[in-house]
Amino acid sequence: MKRLAYILPAILLLLNISCGSNKKTTKTENQSKAMQTEDINQMPQPDPAPAIKFQKPEVFKLANGLTVIVVENHKLPRVSASLRIDNQPIRLRNKKGSDDLLSSLLGTGSETVSKDEFNKKIDFYGANVNLYDGGFYVNSLSKFFPEILKLTVDQALHPKFSNEEFKTEQEKLIEGLKTSEKSTPAAASRVTNKLAYGQHPYGEITTIDNLKNITLQDVEDYYKRRFTPNHAYLIVVGDVTLDNVKKMTKENFALWPKAPQVRDVGLPAIINLPTEVDFIHMPNAEQTELKVVHRSDIRKNNPDYQKVLLMNSILGGDFNSYLNMTLREKHGWTYGARSSFGTNKYGALFRATTSVRNAVADSAVVVTMAQLNKIVNEKVDPKVLNNNKQKYMGNFVLRMEKPATIANQAYDIFVNNLPDDYYETFLQKIDAVTVDDIQEVAKKYLHPDQARIVVAGNAKTTVPGLEKAGYNIKYFDKYGNPTQPPKMGQQLPQDLTVQMVIDHYLSAIGGKDQVAKTKSTETVYEAKMQGTVIKMTNKKMAPNKFASQTEAMGMVFSKEVFDGQKGYKMIQGQRQDLTPEDIKTYQNDTQPFSEIGLAKTGKLARTDNFDDNDYYVVVDNEGTEHFFNVKTGLKDKIVQHKKIQGRDMSQSIYFKAYKEVNGVKLPSKIVISAGNGQNIEFNMIDAKTNSLTADDFK
């Protein structure tokens, strides 16, 4: 089915989505030199780890416990400062969300400076300021930095929380959660944390009920308990001097009262279980979110840390990793697959993540687990290890040129109890890692047999394959609560035919007689995307004429025309005549209602359910799925499957709010999934019937 297929390229162009390049990288200088030697098959010797000139930050401490880290850099007239409060996490239980509300309320006014006055001054100075429950970040020109720091500290240490602002921010967070309830990535992240962390504070999630239960007093109590200098660090980087920073910090922070020392209590352990699939049924999922997680036992002060860094780079930390090269490059199932080992001293997870189209989600699980087992059970190629070493060392050297890196490393040394020369000797430790080391730490820290495989997607397309693969499957709702397996859809009635489904549809939009009288339709829709108005015009005329156009910013981004015998496509001014295959498809189509032709060429595939409605799914000869509402007869959705830059991709288009136009009902709203979790909503601004002529298809 070609209808609406032109929309996706236009949307991708407007969103500036980049899928990366599949070109092979050129040979490095070392490889070129090696080829000039007598034995061109001999692997080049790696360069020794470069010596790092580590700029020592200046550090001092205030009487209230605030540690100040200063890195002077006078290349640019800018300064950045970040306040980080290193509190041990605590469980908030039914008050979870107090931290989110505090982040929203900080910066909405202090005892002396109102919210509007604060924002006006920040804008006037052209500064970047962000306050949150664990500190703040500021960046400004150096000549304005003293004033910006003073204003920000005032908002952070002397906040005036008003009930009006509290109610406003509370409603915003509640609406945000409601909006994200249908988001598959949001559900996957939320449930992953809850299940993997368990009773640990990091496993708590904010719910709508929690937010409604929180009062302004709860937020103020949380602030007084957590926003203290006892374990706080101020990192200042840029065009400043140590003496000036000392003066500014004493003026702004000296009166910040030190809180009574609270004894750190033991944190609940993060428990690994035998591998299982934790499934979140998302019937409207455009793609399936896959996350493989277990407890991470590596920390930066662990002697194995550098070995694990390289092991993870080979597994999933780099573009050329096992996971990405298999799932993306070999199979074309995803735009990217990555893995990481968390190192938070209070508790962390190993994560391997990707997003794939629903139809291959079960296969992606099997392949992902195979790659995890591969690095545990097989030694890596020495060339692969060498390449990862060289790349890591090169990136490390580049990062060291940034003053912020020095400051962050100094902060790391303090909060993780690292030796003073930790980063000076870092690359030597990277360079010393061997092939045997990689397999050793993979066996020690990677646990494919104790992992939660969190899958958020459509159970109907994924669960059967997972069951065949032998996985134990548990089901959870989008907030991580155990639930029953979803209904897999009713069986198709034995006497049901595609013609019967289409007849019900034709009756729903006005009846066969009225449809027969409608020889042409012209619809115009508009949408707003990132502030840009997109206009979409569709023209259809019996028996098979079709024209479409998508425009924005005064330009035509895509156009498609078929006059019954020939036609063309155009994307960003690049015109291409329709292929013989396209022409054959168009000639066999039935316009202005292609569903009439679908009765002859379509096949009943299954029943489905989304938004609590049952659907008959009819698949056309191009593999596009058409969802007809069992109750209303209307077509509410199509799912197109296509290849974009060699990648299999699915796109859903929803038809909503049918509106009568001269006796026939047409959708007044079309919602298009544009990728990256974004939906574009087109609203009808004009519609006509029986107004077109053959001249409209030239």
Q: Coil, strand, or helix at residue 600?
A: helix
pLDDT at residue 395, rounded to an integer? 92
Which residues are within 8 A (CB) of 210 and not within 5 positions of it... i.e. 6 or more apart?
A: 94, 95, 96, 97
Domain boundaries, the chain: 7-15+491-697, 73-253, 276-476
pLDDT digits (tens, 9 = 90+) for 256-265: 999 887 666 7
| Identical fold between 7-15+491-697 and 73-253 | no
Which of 684, 680, 688 lies closest to 652, judged by CA? 680
Q: Give me the mean pLDDT over the 308-331 stretch.
A: 97
Instruction: Please answer whether residues 684 and 669 qualify as being in contact, where contact means their C-beta atoms are separated by less than 8 angstroms.
Output: yes
Query: Domain 276-476 belongs to what architecture?
Result: 2-Layer Sandwich (3.30)
The reported pTM is 0.79
Query: 41: pLDDT confidence band, cut at 50, 70 and 90?
Result: very low
Q: How far apart are CA 255 and CA 150, in angstroms?
A: 13
Query: 14: pLDDT confidence band, cut at 50, 70 and 90?
Result: low
Which of 219, 83, 214 lies closest to 156, judged by CA? 83
Instruction: Write down the CATH number for the domain with range 7-15+491-697.
Output: 2.50.20
Query: What percent of the chain has pLDDT above 90?
Result: 76
Q: How far apart are CA 60 and CA 66, in angstroms?
A: 9
Token pair belonging to 134:
């664990």
Cα angle for residues 4, 10, 14 (degrees, 5° grid):
145
pLDDT digits (tens, 9 = 90+) for 460-469: 889 999 999 9
- What is the rounded average pLDDT for all residues in the chain? 90
Alpha carbon 19 to chain centroid, angstroms: 14
Element at 608 (helix H, strand E): strand 603-610
Token pair belonging to 285:
């999922």
**pLDDT over threshold 90, residue 454:** yes
Q: Coil, strand, or helix at residue 656?
A: strand
Query: 648: pLDDT confidence band, cut at 50, 70 and 90?
Result: low
Query: 439: pLDDT confidence band, cut at 50, 70 and 90?
Result: very high
Residue carrying the six token digits 């699939």: 277
The DSSP secondary structure of 350-386, one letter per residue, reads EEEEEEEEGGGHHHHHHHHHHHHHHHHHSPPPHHHHH
Token pair belonging to 393:
């060392």
Instruction: List strands edge to edge, sheet with 473-476.
Output: 337-341, 349-357, 287-295, 452-457, 276-281, 473-476
Is the CATH code 3.30.465.10 the one for domain 73-253?
no
504-508: list long-range contacts, CB under 8 Å, 24+ apart. 504/628, 504/633, 505/595, 505/628, 505/633, 505/634, 505/635, 506/593, 506/595, 506/596, 507/633, 508/632, 508/633, 508/634, 508/665
Query: 677: pLDDT confidence band, cut at 50, 70 and 90?
Result: low
Token pair belonging to 68:
């100040």
**E runs forming strands in 45-127:** 58-61, 67-72, 78-85
